[in-house]
């Protein structure tokens, strides 16, 4: 299928449509005008038949009415009035009689040479009396042609303006979109006068702003991630090379232990990155079912009590929600791990209604607590904050909310879960 520009399509469509409408209006106007003019001429002929001034004033013409009698029995024609400007002969009057005989109407018209002949008929004792007038060089056709030309010129200009009015903003939007696709964040969109297209332009500008932010965050994320992964790789490589070269290594841990520790650290980070990229897909395609949040937290508490000396106090009311149990387990596990890292003596976990709180008595947040959920934010320990970013993504995927704040003694994470309806 051959492609065509919107400009040419609109121009052609508008031109054809308006031209057709204009032509239709012109034809209707011509028909109405001709009808009115015919009625006027017949009226003037009837006035002449009734004895009034036998002159027809038509546009710029002044025409005299001619009359003659036709004997129906003998077929003879007798001219009653004939002005010098008429060049008729008796045979020519016969044309009028023949038209009357053919149509049988008391008025009629037909074309003769370069004129239109109008006539009316009055019956007399021996036959009929005819009153007629010829109209030379009628200007209706010429005026109609001039009207059509004027209309076509007007339609051409109008269609050109309409097509430009729509196509120019579209060209501007297209160019702007191409620049955004090239990540040219300095691209500007010219003001658009069209209301609907200006709304589209505003949406594209908003899209550009969001893409610019996402691009900046992606760059920061990749930069921070590469730096974070590079450290354990460098340590593993350095210790491995030292072992190959049989170089003495001093430290509290053996080279093998250091390599294992850094490999485990690297594994955790890679696992978090994979989890961050897959959690959205998991939330979208998981079979959502009723999940007992209190049971998830009880299982986590029992697991972490084995590996920590901290006191973990819990007060859990039953709480059910629709969702993916595996994703929620990951989310709460990330929070509890964070609490274990910073708590001094105690962690308190509770469920009241639809709100889950996880607190510890560790140091306060020194920065905005909301920044903890950003994927490129690092904590005091230098560990990359992917865990809490994953947690926020999971909670929001379950139509919930999460926030962190300082308390008088310690910090608190508060998660609100949408309850499952009975």
Structure confidence by residue, pLDDT tens digits, 321-372: 988 888 888 888 888 888 888 899 999 999 999 999 999 998 988 888 888 8
Among 61, 25, 27, CA closest to 41: 61
Other beta carbons less than 10 A from residue 159's beta carbon: 20
Residue 257 belongs to a domain: yes
Domain CATH code at residue 380: 3.30.565.10
pLDDT of residue 384: 45
* Euclidean distance between CA atoms 275 and 81, whole angstroms: 112
Residue 267 belongs to a domain: yes
Specify the residue for token string 């629709």: 322
Name the residue with higher pLDDT: 310 or 246.
310
Are 251 and 299 in the same domain?
no
Q: Which of 95-109, 271-285, 404-418 has the highest mean pLDDT?
A: 404-418
Confidence grade of residue 379 (pLDDT, cut at 50, 70, 90): low
Are 239 and 329 in the same domain?
no
Question: Does residue 87 have a pLDDT over 50?
Answer: no
Q: Which of 143, 162, 181 is the last residue of a domain?
A: 143
Q: What is the span of the domain harbouring residue 377? A: 287-416
pLDDT-above-90 percentage for the chain: 11
Tokens of 155: 């339609």
Are 269 and 336 in the same domain?
no
Other beta carbons less than 10 A from residue 174's beta carbon: 10
- Distances, alpha carbon 404 to alpha carbons 57, 60, 411, in Å: 98, 95, 7
Are 317 and 369 in the same domain?
yes
Are 326 and 272 in the same domain?
no
Question: Does residue 375 have a pLDDT over 80?
Answer: no
pLDDT of residue 84: 44
Q: Which of 250, 285, 320 is the last residue of a domain?
A: 285
Are 63 and 119 in contact by the 8 Å Cβ rule? The answer is: no
Question: Does residue 1 have a pLDDT over 50?
Answer: no
Q: Render 230-262 in DSSP notation, one character per residue.
A: HHHHHHHHHHHHHHHTT----SSS-HHHHHHHH
Are 15 and 92 in the same domain?
yes
* Euclidean distance between CA atoms 205 and 211, whole angstroms: 10
Please write the tens of the pLDDT for every residue from 22-54.
Answer: 677 767 666 666 666 777 788 878 887 887 766
Number of compact structural domains in the chain: 3
* Euclidean distance between CA atoms 328 and 297, whole angstroms: 10
Residue 55 belongs to a domain: yes
Are 62 and 107 in the same domain?
yes
Are 232 and 311 in the same domain?
no
């Amino acid at each position: 299928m051959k492609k065509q520009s919107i400009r040419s399509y609109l121009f052609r469509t508008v031109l054809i449509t308006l031209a057709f409408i204009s032509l239709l209006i012109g034809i209707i106007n011509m028909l109405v005008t001709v009808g009115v003019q015919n009625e006027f001429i017949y009226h003037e002929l009837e006035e002449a038949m009734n004895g009034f001034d036998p002159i027809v004033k038509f546009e710029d013409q002044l025409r005299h009415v001619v009359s003659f009698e036709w004997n129906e029995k003998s077929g003879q024609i007798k001219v009653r009035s004939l002005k010098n400007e008429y060049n008729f002969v008796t045979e020519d009057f016969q044309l009028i009689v023949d038209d009357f005989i053919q149509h049988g109407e008391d008025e009629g018209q037909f074309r003769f040479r370069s004129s239109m002949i109008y006539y009316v008929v009055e019956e007399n004792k021996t036959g009929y009396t005819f009153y007629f007038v010829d109209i030379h060089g009628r200007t209706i056709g010429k005026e109609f042609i001039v009207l059509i030309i004027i209309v076509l010129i007007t339609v051409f200009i109008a269609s050109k303006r309409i097509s430009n009015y729509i196509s120019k903003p579209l060209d501007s939007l297209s160019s702007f979109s191409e620049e955004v696709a090239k990540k040219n964040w300095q691209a500007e969109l010219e003001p658009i006068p069209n209301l609907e297209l200006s709304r589209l332009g505003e949406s594209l500008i908003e899209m550009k702003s969001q893409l610019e932010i996402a691009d900046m965050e992606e760059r920061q994320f990749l930069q921070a991630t590469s730096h974070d992964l590079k450290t354990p790789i460098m340590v593993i490589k350095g210790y491995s090379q030292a072992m190959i070269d049989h170089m003495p290594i001093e430290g509290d841990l053996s080279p093998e232990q250091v390599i294992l520790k850094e490999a485990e650290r690297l594994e955790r980070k890679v696992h978090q990155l994979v989890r961050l990229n897959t959690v959205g897909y998991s939330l979208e395609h998981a079979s959502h079912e009723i999940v007992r949040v209190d049971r998830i937290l009880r299982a986590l508490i029992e697991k972490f009590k084995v590996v920590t000396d901290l006191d973990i106090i819990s007060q859990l009311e039953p709480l059910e929600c629709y969702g993916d149990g595996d994703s929620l387990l990951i989310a709460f596990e990330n929070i509890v791990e964070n609490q274990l890292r910073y708590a001094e003596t105690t962690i308190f976990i509770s469920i009241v209604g639809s709100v889950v709180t996880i607190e510890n008595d560790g140091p306060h947040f020194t920065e905005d607590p909301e920044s903890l959920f950003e994927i490129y934010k690092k904590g005091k320990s230098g560990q990359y904050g992917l865990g809490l970013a994953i947690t926020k993504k999971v909670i929001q995927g379950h139509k919930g909310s999460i926030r962190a704040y300082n308390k008088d003694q310690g910090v608190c994470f508060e998660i609100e879960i949408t309850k499952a309806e009975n």
